[in-house]
Copies of this chain bind each other. A is one copy, B any other.
Amino acid sequence: MSEEAEVEELEERLDSDDYTLDRKVITGILYAVDTEDREKLVELMEPLHAADIADLLEQINAFDRRRMVLLYDKEFDGEILSELDESIREEVITILNPDVLAEAVRELDSDDVVDLLEDLEDEQQAAILGALEASDRVAVQQALTYPEESAGRLMQREVVAAPEHWNVGQAIDYMREREDLPEQFYHIILVDPRMKPVAHVTLGKVMASPRVTQLADLVEPMFRTFSATEDEGNVAYAFNQYHLISAPVVDDDDRLVGVITIDDAMIVLDEEHDEDILRLAGVSEESSLTDRVIDTTKRRFPWLAVNLVTAILASLVIAQFEATIAQFVALAVLMPIVASMGGNAGTQSLTVAVRSIATKDLTGANVWRVIRRECLVGLVNGVIFAVVMGIVGLIWFGSPGLGYVIAAAMVINLVIAGLAGTVIPVALDRFGIDPALASGAFVTTVTDIVGFFAFLGLAGVILL
């Protein structure tokens, strides 16, 4: 196949439905790296978006990554750095030729540089800050004075603002004259003489209006500002809830200091979701496929340790009934079923509760109704599975008593699962603890203990 045809095929693949860099593309690039064919590498990478190149770097192994970064050299741009996972980013920064790194960083917007810097070691931070032009360096250092994960870190400092008494013609002339307009902006922010944002107008409305129209006559009905110290999670929630496109950020004196756009909010929302989903599964902190074994092990360990403690608690409950089990071994066979059903039902309830708390749909106004509903759902499903398991117990072990016991334990545990699955996350949230992080351990502890206790306790009373 000719080279042009290959490149064409590559582009076609990238346009294909699944948006994944497929194996063949990666093979071509790795072959160029193997043969140290710089020209070919640059040609193959050219059609790729920085986000795709970052994905590619994350997916290949460290040896190939090093060779590829060194071969790609001057072509390596700042966007790729921005898109990389934290752990790989640190690695790549140490590989890059300092001149290439400096050039790459200088291309970036200040908010991207901040994002890049905040996760780096001091030494690497200093290297990057040193590479910036003086004005950019001041801007970045100022952004770093805001708390981590705040609106101040998320915002871009380049804003387009106009006095509230301007008309459309003045705004257009101002923009035509200004040299350093941001790459992307969607609103002109109207400010009062003290630089306090009072409203904003969309570019579309400005362009569609005659030059004499007052900007003040075009303002949007929905306008919200954020404090620079506001948590980025709240900012993302507000963007999602109120369908904001961009919003000004103000300092403590209500003066305009920056602007947050929806694409930044989308990234935060995406991260928060990922965090929730991972926390629910007991994978704490940021976690990615590119982490090393030792880091991953450390991140998984705490939750497993918590789980070990709760499992031992459940075992202590079982130990109380050793004599009963010794007389009736079938109990040992069936008891995990009751605990497992309770654990699953509890996880269902708690996941719905955690999501509803995150989206602020579960509040004081409806919490009792939700708890009642979850218990009722547990009751209905409990009765159905009680009948099934009663029959299974009867047929399998030929003991009607065992059937009654497992049926009763099932109903009790599924109702408790609904109750615990809702009350525990709500209570944790009230105490200021992230319910996504801690609910799972508590809920399964409750359902294990209740499950074993109800099943073995009832068996002790009824069967012996």
With A210-B176, A332-B332 already in contact, the answer to whether A281 and B280 are too (CB < 8 A) is: yes
- Which chain B residues lie closer than 8 Å to A310 at the CB level? 340
Which of the candidate stretches A97-105, A122-130, A373-381 sits at the interface with the other chain? Answer: A373-381
A194 at interface (Cβ–Cβ under 8 A)?
no
Residue from A266, A289, A293 with most neighbouring chain B CB atoms (10 Å)? A289
CB–CB A282/B347 < 8 A: yes
Contacting pair A341 B304 (CB below 8 A): yes
Give the residues in chain B near A363, CB-CB below 8 Å. Answer: 20-23, 59
Residue in B297, B344, B347, B369 whose beta carbon sits within 8 Å of that of A381 in the complex: B297
Please tell me if A463 contacts chain B, counting CB pairs below 8 Å. no
| Residue among A281, A288, A350 with max Cβ neighbours from chain B (10 Å) | A281
A-side interface mostly: helix
- Whether A325 contacts B315 in the complex (CB less than 8 A), given A19-B234, A23-B364, comes out as no
- Residues of A440-463 at the interface with B, using a CB-CB cut-off of 8 Å, are 448, 452
Determine if A351 and B283 form an interchain contact, defined as CB atoms under 8 angstroms apart.
yes
Contact A366 B289 (CB under 8 A): yes
Instruction: Give the CA-CA distance A287 to B353 in the complex, in Å.
Output: 11
Report the bound CA distance from A354 to B375 in whole Å. Answer: 30
Residue from the set A22, A301, A307, A334 with the largest chain B CB neighbour count within 10 Å: A307
Q: What are the residues of chain B within 8 A of A307 when measuring CB–CB? A: 340-341, 344
Q: Tell me whether A42 is interfacial, beta carbon within 8 Å.
A: no
Q: Is A131 an interface residue (CB 8 A)?
A: no
Complex CA–CA separation, A118 to B156 (angstroms): 39
Query: With A19-B237, A304-B344 as given contacts, are A278 and B355 in contact (CB-CB < 8 Å)?
Result: yes
Check A234 against B17 for contact (C-beta < 8 Å). Answer: yes
Contact residues in B for A332 (Cβ distance below 8 Å): 318, 322, 325, 329, 331-332, 335
B369 touches A61 (CB 8 A): yes
A222 at the interface (CB under 8 A from B): yes
A280–B282 touching, CB < 8 Å: no
Q: Is the beta-carbon distance between A208 and B336 smaller than 8 angstroms?
A: no
Closest-CB distance, A236 to chain B (whole angstroms): 10
Distance between A33 CB and nearest chain B CB, rounded to angstroms? 13
Bound CA span A281–B369, Å: 22
Please name 17 pairs of A and B residues whose Cβ atoms are closer than 8 Å in the assembled complex, sorted by A: A22-B363, A26-B365, A49-B241, A176-B210, A181-B204, A182-B204, A203-B203, A239-B266, A283-B351, A283-B352, A297-B381, A301-B384, A303-B348, A311-B341, A315-B333, A318-B333, A335-B336
Is residue A186 contacting chain B, with contact meaning CB distance below 8 A?
Answer: yes
Inter-chain CA distance A389–B369, complex, in Å, is 42
The residue in chain B whose Cβ has the minimal distance to the Cβ of A436 is B277
Instruction: Check if A427 is an interface residue, CB within 8 A of chain B.
Output: no
Nearest 7 interchain pairs by C-beta: A281-B351, A332-B332, A203-B203, A273-B273, A311-B337, A59-B365, A59-B366
